[in-house]
Structure 1
């Protein structure tokens, strides 16, 4: 993932705060020889306090074909993308350019976690980790914990495997046009307000936060 300097978060707390509210992503695993990479959509729980870069907990069904690939190469990548919108070219056109000559682009947030995966099959550890993940989502406290050999979930434990992902590297990108001239940023903000889809509102919050207010921007590509 290409990250221009103006798209990089200034501090780790920025991507950590965003990731705390986004817990669904895609786990990419190297394919076995002769096969393409394996990509698995999944919910996960991120623990920022575990290790230098945090830890991810998730689980999948035992029949999932991902396991052989993880065992062959435990270095995996968890990709989380959201708050994305299409930005029409006229919104981004410089003042001395006809609106129809403006370059369309995409706004989005992306966080990629490179991890070392460990598969957990031991019943008690698996249950404890699963309970931690479920507690992240069901915070009302009414869920019965999974306990090996006990109803209602004990009999289901053999049917899943837990993945414990130790995060070794984080790459984060907040692409919201902060390098553009102030006039283009203001026009884009107004366009997002007027279009007003749910993702436009999230993108507008990022765009407003990252606006430079300098009246000029870095020369750079519209893509990325």
Structure 2
């Protein structure tokens, strides 16, 4: 494995431009005055909206109001997404040194009402080697920007369908964990799941391109992931503005 296995990705067309756009959007969010007093409230609302958007992307298109009120309490995908979101903070340290363990925990939480107990925390057959490679990349000390690392995490987990039947929920939660652990969004404010939801048509097309393994397809996926961070930061700014209005 090269000294920095993700370094070549930075030379792909449009990737660094996307990284810079994402950084600028997050920097703009972090400068919002509401965060001086209510960052915990923004993070909590981001988590709720993130769970809702993640479930929506997984095919459960429940209104946000129903998730907020508890009316969606009977839906196992929504509840699994909420549990996965609640684990972001507690799993941040584990993700940094034991990502396979963190993924197993996310799967156990997200699929608790959807899979047999013996299957919880276990990746799909045939994915172990790629997951080991992903863990090695995360442990390699890569200096690639957080947006790029998070994009690779997301693309690998979802592209492999590694944690059925909730691979999408697990992949999106792991993306949040990466942005937190890599320091771009340490308070978990960016609603990146809502960004992917807003860009749904691009999301599906970009994932298909990533799965091809071609450099152009990987570049398309990473550009999409950067755009989702931008849209997710804008969603978080909207949360700040709503809280400021009372």
* TM-score, scaled to structure 2: 0.23
Structure with greater proportional strand content: 1
Higher relative contact order (CA 8 A, sep 6+): 2
